[in-house]
Chain A
């Protein structure tokens, strides 16, 4: 079974509008971390935001926020006031706390295109 599911292969958004990228996850661990990374067309992986499973507040980093709904096992990324430079692939990832499983498991990604 997939541990990270991103159901939106592609999304369009108008410049200056907000957009939500969906991510659901599956784990039996009580302690885990959820991450979002951005991959522009140039190929590098850029860390955006992190949410710990025990964090009571939703994480925010500038225009990025993470809508964490633990009971639903979802960790959606919200980008406010989209900019043309936000056009990229976005990956949701999870790190479990089990010893020996410190690596990230990635979803299949969502390609976001911001239109002027």
Chain B
């Protein structure tokens, strides 16, 4: 079975550019989560969706960040404009109700 698929795996871009991260959850999972991992803050939730509806976006740092889930098989996390402090590994995870979350391989983002 296919796991959670994230793209790109690596992204290097210059400050001020728009960055779009993509995620395809496991089929049948109705929860989708975006996490960010940094050395300073560890793993922290950015936003999560249930049945494509955003439930908790309290972790989204600021208005530069936005996330969408237009359908059950696709989600995007967008940063516009990007800043060097956004450099991190961004994970997408999905789960079924009451089940463990399964993570994608992450996107390593570097903003120069």
Residues of A within 8 A of B104 (CB): 44
Cα–Cα, bound, A35→B29 (Å): 18
Check: B111 CB closer than 8 A to any chain A CB: no
Chain B binding surface, main DSSP class: strand
Do A102 and B55 touch across chains, with their CB atoms under 8 A apart? Answer: yes
Check: B100 CB closer than 8 A to any chain A CB: yes
Count the A residues whose beta carbon is within 8 Å of the partner chain — how many? 19
Closest to A103 in B: B45
Closest to A93 in B: B43
Interface-located stretch among A15-23, A68-76, A104-112: A104-112
Residues of A within 8 A of B105 (CB): 43-44
Cα–Cα, bound, A47→B4 (Å): 13
Residues of B within 8 A of A43 (CB): 89, 105-106, 108
Cα–Cα, bound, A100→B49 (Å): 10
Within 8 A of B (CB), among A35-58: 35, 37, 43-47, 50
Interface residue tally on B, bucketed by range: 20 to 34
Check: B70 CB closer than 8 A to any chain A CB: no
Do B45 and A104 touch across chains, with their CB atoms under 8 A apart? Answer: yes
Check: A91 CB closer than 8 A to any chain B CB: yes
Do A47 and B100 touch across chains, with their CB atoms under 8 A apart? Answer: yes
How far, in Å, is B66 (CB) from chain A's closest CB?
18
Given A102-B48, A103-B48, A106-B43, verify A45-B55 contact (CB < 8 Å).
Answer: no
6 shortest A-B CB distances, which residue pairs?
A45-B103, A106-B43, A103-B45, A47-B100, A44-B105, A103-B48
Task: Other than A43-B89, A47-B102, A47-B103, give 8 A-B pairs with Cβ distance below 8 A.
Answer: A37-B103, A43-B106, A43-B108, A44-B103, A102-B31, A103-B45, A103-B48, A104-B35
Which residues in A have some Cβ–Cβ distance to B below 8 Å?
Answer: 35, 37, 43-47, 50, 91, 100-109
23 contacts between A and B (CB under 8 A): A37-B103, A43-B108, A44-B105, A45-B91, A47-B100, A47-B103, A50-B100, A100-B55, A101-B56, A102-B31, A102-B50, A102-B55, A102-B56, A103-B33, A103-B45, A103-B48, A104-B45, A104-B101, A105-B45, A106-B43, A106-B44, A107-B42, A109-B42
